[in-house]
Chain A
Amino acid sequence: MSGRTLYDKLWKSHVVRAENDSMALLYIDRHLVHEVTSPQAFEGLRLAGRKPWRVAANLAVADHNVPTTDRALGVTDPVSRLQIDTLDENCLEFGITEFRMNDVRQGIVHVIGPEQGATLPGMTVVCGDSHTSTIGAFAALAFGIGTSEVEHVLATQCLLAKKSKSMRVTVNHRLPEGVTAKDIALAIIRLIGTAGGTGYAIEFAGEAIRSLSMEGRMTLCNMAIEAGARAGMVAVDQTTIDYIQGRPFAPKGALWESAVLNWRTLKSDDDAHFDYEVCLDASKIRPHVSWGTSPEMVVTIDDCVPDPERETDPVRREAFERALVYMGLKANQPINTIRVDKVFIGSCTNSRIEDLRAAAGVVQGHHVAESVKQALVVPGSGLVKRQAESEGLDQIFTKAGFEWREPGCSMCLAMNADRLEPGERCASTSNRNFEGRQGSGGRTHLVSPQMAAAAAIAGHFTDLGAF
C-alpha cells in the first residue's frame, strides 16, 4: 500500500461518518463568517429554532462592505450598513465572537484568521467565501462553502463533503529576484487553466515553496481556487510553526508542545500517490500580468497580448476575442505599453505586511505618474496597517501619492465605494479579473504588489529592472 498524502491525512482525521466511498460527514474545526454570505444562514437557523452547535468554533468579521475611508462617519451606504448591522446583530444574538468595524483586529476574513492564530495546521477550516483556500498554507484543509453550508456548519459543526482527487504541483529551484508567490500562482494557472484543478485538492511542494514565507504561501493557496481547486495546501515546516507561535488564539504551554509534535506529521508520505502531478521550474518564472478576463489569460511582462488568430480551439478563440474587446486591447500589443488609470494594492491575495513592504520598496523615492488617477493601498487588517505604520510604510506610500486606507476587501470586488468606472484600467494585486469585477466595465490586470507599484510610478506596466 502506498503512503498517504497530506490531504488524505486531513480528510481521514475529520470523517465523522462515511456515507459511501467518497462522500462523508466531515467535522469542521473552524468556521469563519463574513457579512455577505451569512445573513440567510442565520435566518435559516432562527426559522428552524436551531442554535450554533459549538459557538467557540466560529469567528466573524465584516470585510466586503466596509468603507476604507474615515470610519468615524460609520457606513453611509444604507444597503451595506444593513448587511453589516445584520452580522453584528446575528453575532450578538448567537454569542459568536466578532471583530467589529472599529476593532484594530478587523480585516479581510482570510487575513485575520491566520493573523490571530485562529486557523491552525491540521484543522478543517471553512467560510462562505471561495478564497478560504488561503488557509491551506498552514497544512489545514480549508475551503469555501455556500450559504446553505454555512447554515449546515453552524447547526451541526459538520459538512457533507465529497473527497477530491489529489494533485501535487512541485515548484523546483528558487525564484529570481523580483518574482513572487503571485507570479508562481499565475504561472500555474496559465499552465493548467482555470478549470485545471477542478475536482482536485492541490498540494504545493518543492524548493521554491519551502523557501516562501507564510505570507507567500498564503498568496499561492489563495489562488488555488482560480486554478479551479477548492483547496490548496502546503505541508508544515519550521516556517509554519514559527509563524503561529505566540498568536492570540494559538495553543500555549504544554498544549503548544503537543500541538507542534502533531503538526510535524502533517506532510505527504514520501511514497504517497497523487492522481495528477505538475512540475515547474521557479528559476524560469518571470513577473506575470493578466491581459484578459479570466486569470488564465496571462502572460509575462516581456511578452505581448496574444493573437486570437493563433488559437486553434474555436471556443477559446472566441473567448480571447471577446476578452480583447472587453479589455480594450489589441492583439500583439506589448504588455509594457499598456497604460493604467488606477492601481490597487490590497485584497486577501496581497495585503499582508510582506506585500506592503515589497510594494513600498519599489515606491520609495518615486512618485505616482501624473496619468494615474488613483493609487490605493488597502492593508488586509487593522493589525497589518498598524505594523506598516510602525515601519513608516504609510509615509512612503502617501509621499509618493498613494492613498493609505482602512482595511477591507475594497476594490477587489467593489462592493463598497472603491471601484473602477466603466473603461478604467487597473493594475491590481487581487485575484480575479472577471468582467465588471472591480466595477461595471472596469478592466483588471492581475499582478504582484511589486508590479502594481511599478505600474503606478511608470503609468504603464513595466519590468522591475527599472527600480
Chain B
Amino acid sequence: MEKFTVLNGIVAPLDRSNVDTDAIIPKQFLKSIRRSGFGPNLFDAWRYLDQGEPGLDCSKRPLNPDFVLNFERYDGASILLARENFGCGSSREHAPWALLDYGFRAILAPSFADIFFNNCFKNGILPVVLDPKAINELFKQVEALPGYRLSIDLPRQQIKTPDGSLHSFEIDAFRKECLVNGLDDIALTLRHVEDIRSYEKRRLQETPWLFQ
C-alpha cells in the first residue's frame, strides 16, 4: 500500500448526497477478477452517454459534457469533494479501487458509509470527515476558482486552502499510523499469531460448538 503523508492536489466537487457504490462503479464491471483497471469506469453511468460494458474502449466512448469530472478544469484531480453518506450501498472494494485507479487519494465529505470508509484505508485513500458547514464553504470556493487545490497534511491532521486558512480533522490514531507508514494489515496482524492461538484455545474450551 502506498504511504499517505502530505497530498497537494486539484479538487473535484461532486455535488450529490448519498452517492452509492453502484454509482461509483456499476455492477457490470465487478466481473473482473483483478484489482486494477477500474478507473476508466469510475462513475460510468454519469460519465458517459452510452451504456458501459466491460471490454469497451472508454477513450472512444461519448463523454457526458455535463458531468463534473469531464470538465477540463478538474483534469488530474486527486481530491474528491463530496456530500453526505458518500459510498453507501454495497461492500464492493471495487469502489475505492476505481477511485484510486482514476487518481483520487483523498475524499472529503460530511459523512461516509461505514464499509466504504473502512475500505478506503485498505487502499491508501484518506477519507476525511468535515462538518457540513466547512464542506459547504469548500464547495463554494472550488466552484469559484478554477485550478483550486488543497493541501492535506495527514501527520498534522490539517487541510490548507489556497487562502491559507486551515481545517483540522479527526482520524483514528491506529488508522493514521497504518496510512502514514503504508502498513499492510495482514502482516501487522500476523505479529500477533500467539494471541490468536491462545484465543482459539480458550474459546474451544468455552464454546466448542463454534469449532465444529
Q: How many A-B residue pairs have CB under 8 A?
A: 186
With A144-B115, A155-B186 in contact, do A120 and B18 touch (Cβ < 8 Å)?
no
**A17, A29, A146, A151: which contacts B195 (Cβ < 8 A)?**
A17
With A20-B173, A315-B17, A415-B28 in contact, do A434 and B23 touch (Cβ < 8 Å)?
yes
Q: Residue B60 at the A interface, CB < 8 A?
A: no
Stretch of B5-13, B63-71, B117-125 at the chain-chain interface: B117-125
**CB distance B89 to A27 under 8 Å?**
no
Bound-state CA distance A403–B66 (Å) is 40
Bound-state CA distance A249–B35 (Å) is 34
Bound-state CA distance A432–B45 (Å) is 17
Task: Give residues of chain A (297-319) contacting chain B, Cβ–Cβ below 8 Å.
Answer: 315-316, 318-319
**CB distance B111 to A16 under 8 Å?**
no
With A25-B195, A65-B31, A249-B212 in contact, do A145 and B189 touch (Cβ < 8 Å)?
no
Q: Residue A43 at the B interface, CB < 8 A?
A: yes
**CB distance B85 to A198 under 8 Å?**
yes
Task: Give residues of chain A (22-80) contacting chain B, Cβ–Cβ below 8 Å.
Answer: 22-23, 25, 27, 29, 36-37, 39-40, 43, 48, 50, 53-54, 56, 64-65, 79-80
**A123, A130, A198, A437: which contacts B210 (Cβ < 8 A)?**
A123
**CB distance A36 to B84 under 8 Å?**
no
Stretch of A209-217, A254-262, A269-277, A333-341 at the chain-chain interface: A254-262
CB-CB under 8 A from A129, the residues of chain B are 90-91
**CB distance A255 to B208 under 8 Å?**
yes
Task: Give residues of chain B (117-171) contacting chain A, Cβ–Cβ below 8 Å.
Answer: 118-119, 122-123
Give the residue name and chain of the B residue nearest to A251 (CB): B209
**CB distance A198 to B114 under 8 Å?**
yes
Give the residue name and chain of the A residue nearest to B110 (CB): A195
Contact with B along A439-453 (1 / 0, CB 8 A): 010000000000000
With A27-B196, A130-B115, A195-B88 in contact, do A148 and B172 touch (Cβ < 8 Å)?
no
Contact with A along B164-196 (1 / 0, CB 8 A): 000000001111000000000110111010011
With A148-B122, A251-B209 in contact, do A82 and B45 touch (Cβ < 8 Å)?
no
**CB distance A162 to B185 under 8 Å?**
no
Q: Residue A19 at the B interface, CB < 8 A?
A: yes
**CB distance B22 to A146 under 8 Å?**
no
With A27-B203, A148-B119, A440-B51 in contact, do A434 and B89 touch (Cβ < 8 Å)?
yes
**CB distance A148 to B91 under 8 Å?**
no
Bound-state CA distance A29–B113 (Å) is 25
Task: Give residues of chain A (119-176) contacting chain B, Cβ–Cβ below 8 Å.
Answer: 120, 122-123, 128-130, 132, 143-149, 151-152, 155-158, 160, 162, 164
Q: Residue B101 at the A interface, CB < 8 A?
A: no
Q: Residue A436 at the B interface, CB < 8 A?
A: yes
CB-CB under 8 A from A16, the residues of chain B are 192, 195-196, 199
Q: How many residues of A contact B (CB 8 A)?
A: 79
CB-CB under 8 A from A130, the residues of chain B are 89-91, 115
**CB distance A120 to B34 under 8 Å?**
no
**CB distance B210 to A29 under 8 Å?**
yes
Q: Residue A240 at the B interface, CB < 8 A?
A: no
CB-CB under 8 A from B51, the residues of chain A are 422, 440
Report which residue of A146, A151, A152, A194 has the largest number of chain B beta carbons within 10 angstroms of its beta carbon. Answer: A146
Bound-state CA distance A268–B16 (Å) is 38
**CB distance B111 to A122 under 8 Å?**
no
Q: Residue B26 at the A interface, CB < 8 A?
A: yes
Q: Residue A294 at the B interface, CB < 8 A?
A: yes
Give the residue name and chain of the B residue nearest to A193 (CB): B85
With A144-B91, A152-B189, A437-B22 in contact, do A40 and B35 touch (Cβ < 8 Å)?
yes
Bound-state CA distance A155–B35 (Å) is 18
**CB distance A230 to B115 under 8 Å?**
yes
Bound-state CA distance A110–B189 (Å) is 27
Bound-state CA distance A68–B212 (Å) is 33
CB-CB under 8 A from B188, the residues of chain A are 160
Contact with B along A282-299 (1 / 0, CB 8 A): 000000000000100000
Bound-state CA distance A194–B18 (Å) is 8
For residue A136, give the distance in angstroms from its CB to the closest CB of chain B.
14
Bound-state CA distance A52–B33 (Å) is 19
Bound-state CA distance A54–B200 (Å) is 10
29 A-B contacts, Cβ less than 8 Å apart?
A20-B172, A29-B210, A36-B30, A43-B33, A48-B186, A50-B186, A79-B31, A79-B54, A120-B210, A128-B93, A143-B115, A145-B115, A146-B92, A146-B93, A146-B119, A148-B185, A149-B122, A151-B186, A156-B186, A158-B189, A229-B114, A230-B114, A256-B209, A413-B22, A422-B51, A434-B20, A435-B22, A435-B23, A440-B51
Given contacts A16-B196, A54-B200, A194-B18, 6 further A-B contacts (CB under 8 A): A16-B192, A19-B174, A130-B90, A152-B189, A415-B31, A435-B45
Q: Which 3 A-B pairs have the closest CB atoms?
A: A148-B122, A146-B93, A251-B209
